């Protein structure tokens, strides 16, 4: 029997039991959909984080204070005196409330000349950045100035009223930032940027919560990290952009392995279902197999007939799973975005509030497409080995007598 004949016969037998075949394909597709949809979320988050970190540059070191002891001007001067350091950017971050918003907002005190160091690049929707003077000036993140429905809350020139403790402060809006996204360390969309001298005067503080240190080049980063660690000891956490990127890659890799394990349980269920269906198919076609053998079809060809059915089921399940997985991958962020806005915010190294349900663009990695397709085909083939072997070993005389 030719291979083409085996394929046609396999397809005919699958069509004869349409409902059974469709249910088997759906069971296989569940595992593929799970891998594609969930891995796309993890890869999208990872890519967004890495891109944001890349804006800081590979020569950036982030020093975050631990406990209640802030950094001082003496610490800043000391860092500026290190030969490998090209630039030091002190930042003071506090949480405030805005009268028209329910959740606490991050107030970031940073000099206008250092905004590029902090944001990577300054993109404005309206107005301009503030001047480095100890006067009230507010540069708003996009989600503060514009609500979720697209309605403008604050325009350039309007005051925004913030509450620090029991004190209400009115600051004129000088500009509105473009949308940056809100992944990991930098949450510009939900922050208010003001001159650092004004924040210090407002809070009567001479300290800083975060210091960004720029080395003269990436080759000095490791040496400088050791120096900073010895200077601050347990007072601060010292991390480089490269270290944070490695941590992100490690964590997302572990998450993807976990997701593959979860999807594996779906494939096990699909494999058991395929095994059951193939055994039933063999029992239903005992007489038909006997006729095949009586007219000269060999055991190997009967084996190939059932294995080919399994291959078709695996391919159809993989194709359906890839389609459904792609739809779910891009629909899931939109579905959880509104839910994520009500989630409590967590503090990051830069002191900003961060919502872990932040917006991102899913990325469907070719590796996971290959893994999902391979697993679906492999599981169906393995589940069909024994039923196919049983079919190939049937005695044609006994099979023709089978009722």
> Same domain, yes or no, for 296 and 182?
no
Asked if 102 and 158 sit in the same domain, the reply is yes
Query: Would you say residue 273 has pLDDT above 50?
Result: yes
- Say yes or no: 261 and 187 in one domain: no
Whether 388 is covered by a domain: the verdict is: yes
Tens of pLDDT, residues 33-53:
989 998 898 888 888 777 777
For residue 158, being part of any structural domain is answered with: yes
Asked if residue 139 is part of any domain, the answer here is yes
**Residue range(s) defining the domain that contains residue 104:** 94-204
Q: 3-state class of 104 per DSSP? A: coil
Residue 263 has pLDDT above 90, yes or no: no
pTM: 0.69
Confidence of residue 97 (pLDDT cuts 50, 70, 90): confident
Flag whether 238 is in a domain: no
What local confidence, expressed as pLDDT, does residue 396 receive?
A: 65
Pair 272, 350 in one domain:
yes
* One domain, residues 273 and 197: no
> What single string gives the DSSP state of each residue in 7-62?
HHHHHHHHHHTHHHHHHHHHHHHHHHHHHHHHHHHHHHHHHHHHHHHHHH-TTEEE
Q: Are 13 and 120 within one domain?
A: no
Asked, for residue 144, whether it belongs to a domain, the answer is yes
pLDDT in tens, 134-180: 888 999 988 888 887 788 888 898 898 888 777 788 899 999 998 87
Handedness of CA 378, 379, 382, 386 (dihedral sign): negative
pLDDT of 290 strictly over 80? no
Residue 243 domain flag: no
Mean per-residue pLDDT, 195-206: 84
Within-domain flag for 230 = no
Residue 333 lies in a domain: yes
Do 129 and 18 fall into the same domain?
A: no
Point out the least confidently predicted range of 60-64, 106-110, 295-299, 322-326: 295-299
The confidence score (pLDDT) of residue 349 equals: 46
The better pLDDT of the pair 6, 276 is held by 276
The pLDDT value recorded for residue 343 is 45
Are 300 and 378 part of one and the same domain?
yes
Tell me the pLDDT tens digit for each residue of 345-361.
Answer: 444 445 444 444 446 78
Q: What is residue 270's predicted lDDT score, i.e. its pLDDT?
A: 83
Number of separate domains in the chain: 2
Pair (257, 371) in one structural domain: yes
């Amino acid at each position: 029997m030719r291979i083409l004949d085996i394929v046609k016969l396999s397809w005919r037998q699958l069509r004869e039991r349409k409902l059974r075949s469709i249910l088997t394909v759906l069971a296989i597709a569940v595992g593929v959909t799970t891998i594609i949809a969930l891995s796309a979320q993890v890869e999208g988050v990872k890519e967004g984080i890495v891109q944001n970190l890349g804006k800081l540059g590979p020569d950036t070191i982030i020093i975050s204070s631990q406990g209640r002891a802030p950094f001082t001007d003496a610490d800043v001067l000391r860092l500026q005196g290190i030969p490998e350091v090209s630039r030091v950017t002190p930042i003071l971050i506090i949480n405030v409330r805005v009268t028209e918003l329910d959740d606490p907002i991050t107030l970031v005190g940073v000099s206008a000349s250092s905004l590029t160091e902090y944001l990577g690049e300054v993109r404005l929707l309206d107005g301009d950045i503030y001047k480095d003077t100890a006067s009230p000036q507010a540069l708003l993140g996009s989600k503060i100035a514009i609500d979720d429905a697209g309605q403008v809350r604050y325009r350039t020139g309007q005051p925004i009223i913030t509450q620090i403790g029991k004190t209400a402060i009115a600051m004129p809006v000088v500009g509105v930032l473009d949308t940056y996204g809100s992944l990991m360390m930098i949450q510009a969309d939900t922050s208010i940027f003001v001159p650092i001298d004004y924040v210090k005067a407002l809070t009567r503080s001479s300290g800083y919560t975060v210091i960004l240190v720029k080395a003269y080049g990436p080759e000095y980063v490791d040496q400088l990290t050791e120096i900073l660690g010895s200077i601050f000891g347990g007072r601060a956490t010292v991390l480089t952009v490269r270290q944070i990127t490695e941590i992100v890659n490690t964590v997302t890799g572990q998450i993807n392995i976990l997701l593959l394990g979860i999807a594996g349980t779906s494939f096990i269920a699909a494999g058991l279902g395929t095994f059951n269906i193939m055994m039933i198919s063999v029992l239903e076609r005992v007489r038909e197999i006997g006729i095949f053998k009586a007219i000269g079809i060999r055991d190997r060809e009967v084996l190939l007939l059932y294995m080919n059915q399994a291959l078709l089921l695996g391919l159809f399940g993989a194709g359906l799973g890839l389609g459904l997985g792609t739809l779910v991958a891009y629909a899931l962020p939109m579905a959880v975005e509104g839910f994520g806005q009500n989630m409590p915010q967590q503090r990051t190294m830069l002191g900003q509030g961060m919502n872990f349900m932040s917006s991102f663009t899913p990325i469907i990695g070719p590796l996971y497409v290959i893994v999902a397709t391979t697993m679906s085909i492999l599981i169906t083939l393995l589940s069909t080995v024994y039923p196919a072997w049983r079919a190939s070993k049937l005695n044609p005389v006994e099979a023709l007598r089978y009722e």
